[in-house]
Amino acid sequence: MNKRIYLCLAHMSGQEQKYIQEAFDTNWVVPLGPNVNAFEEELEHFVGQDKKVVALSAGTAAMHLALIGCGVKAGDEVLVQSFTFCASANPVTYLGATPVFIDSEAETWNMDPTLLERAIIDRIKKTGKKPKAIVPVYLYGMPARIDEILSIANKYEIPVIEDAAEGLGSRFDGQVCGTFGRYGVLSFNGNKMITTSGGGALICPDSESKQRIMFYATQARESYPYYQHEKIGYNYRMSNICAGIGRGQMTILEKHIAHHRHIHYLYKEMLADIEGISLQENPSSRSDSNYWLSTILLDPDLRIKGEEHAYETIRTDCEPNRNVEATRMGLDTAGIESRPLWKPMHKQPIYRNSPCYLNGVSEALFKRGLCLPSGPCVSDEDVAYIVSQIKALLP
């Protein structure tokens, strides 16, 4: 074995250097400039729906500014999908607000609309005020039940911030994920669908809100000939160099999405005859996942070689089943990176005091699931090798 197969490594188009060179040649080596503007226009064209896009230094920054855009302040509550990466929830605490975690439904693994409504009613009853925003996530690219979530959000007049960091290019009823709510968060970290090395963007409803987000992203400078500050701002704008990488990446965005889907269908074909292992798939023709990461579930009764050595050194009170850990270790030895699903936020020590509305779905998935290599650097041969190594771990 001479190479290691990773979950999702960045892959360059070859065009990136041209845009970076342009930035150097024209001395736009700053957090604004022609690449930033052009990257935003290209993203606006891609997402459609007459949305406006602000390019930022990270997806986490985009989430932070979206919450500010929804008026979230200290003491407020925000309803956040529990089954997610911490960056969906942490910016709520940056503002001194409290995330209230909502469990998932079993089909899409995303925010359960029934629990969402129950939580809204209960929070109003317990606190006397409405939560300030709702944050559903497109986990591993899978579209959430955004139509139902939106109709509940509209009923109670609470804005929705879609965390589409993993869902760039996924669609629900043909519409790009991230364009349904008031704001949509995108990430261009090194492991996402496309990369700017690090970076993110916020999809905004109109030019006015784009201007407002831009204001907060650039230290809240008021329009005076001197620096006048009437609000607390942030230094969150994307650099013109990173945006150059983004422009190069936009030329292969569709190709990347197609590749992730292709890898998913290869796994589906090759894993079909293995009993006890299932692959997460679009639950209906309304959902069109970008399959950012292909994910499998292991039946708790499935025996895997080396299970007796799982968790010899490290334990918490909520961890994946031994057969999942044994699969991860076995693949690791074979030069293959895999990773358990996101550990739900309501099981994270840091959020143990946050209110949560649960049905057991995300915790059960966390105990059974594993993410497999899915990125643009994963070849057909790699998938065949990965599946053969999974089979080799079966008794």
Give the residues lining the site for ligand PLP (CB under 6 A): 58-60, 84-85, 87-88, 137, 163, 165-166, 187, 189, 200
Strand partners, 101: 80, 356
Question: How buried is 229 (Cβ within 10 angstroms: 0-12 exposed, 13-18 middle, 19+ buried)?
Answer: exposed
- 24 is written with which tokens? 């150097």
Which CB atom, from 193 or from 387, has the smaller least distance to ligand PLP? 193
Report in angstroms how near the CB of residue 55 gets to ligand PLP at its nearest. 12
Report in angstroms how near the CB of residue 164 gets to ligand PLP at its nearest. 8
Report in angstroms how near the CB of residue 270 gets to ligand PLP at its nearest. 26
Report in angstroms how near the CB of residue 70 gets to ligand PLP at its nearest. 16
Report in angstroms how near the CB of residue 141 gets to ligand PLP at its nearest. 10
Tell me the pairing of strands 98-102 and 356-357.
parallel
How many residues are listed for the chain in this entry? 395
Which residues in 12-21 are b (16+ Cβ under 10 Å) and which e? Answer: ebebbeebbe
Q: Which long-range contacts (CB under 8 A, 24 or more apart) does 311-320 make?
A: 318/343, 318/347, 318/363, 318/366, 318/367, 319/367, 320/366, 320/367, 320/368, 320/369, 320/370
Report in angstroms how near the CB of residue 166 gets to ligand PLP at its nearest. 5
Q: Which amino acid is at 110?
A: N
Beta carbons within 8 Å of 47's beta carbon, 6+ residues apart: 53, 176, 178, 179, 184, 203
Which CB atom, from 68 or from 271, has the smaller least distance to ligand PLP? 68
Residue nearest to ligand PLP (CB): 59
Report in angstroms how near the CB of residue 162 gets to ligand PLP at its nearest. 10
- Residue 325 three-state SS: helix
Task: Measure the CA–CA gap between 234 and 22, rounded to whole angstroms.
Answer: 27
Strand partners, 278: 297
Report in angstroms how near the CB of residue 84 gets to ligand PLP at its nearest. 5
Task: Measure the CA–CA gap between 139 and 150, rounded to whole angstroms.
Answer: 17
Report in angstroms how near the CB of residue 59 gets to ligand PLP at its nearest. 2
Beta carbons within 8 Å of 160's beta carbon, 6+ residues apart: 133, 134, 135, 136, 149, 150, 153, 180, 181, 182, 183
Which CB atom, from 7 or from 329, has the smaller least distance to ligand PLP? 7
Question: Which residue matches tokens 């009853």?
Answer: 125
Q: Which of 344, 318, 296 is nearest to 137 (CA)?
A: 344
Question: Which residue matches tokens 């500014």?
Answer: 65
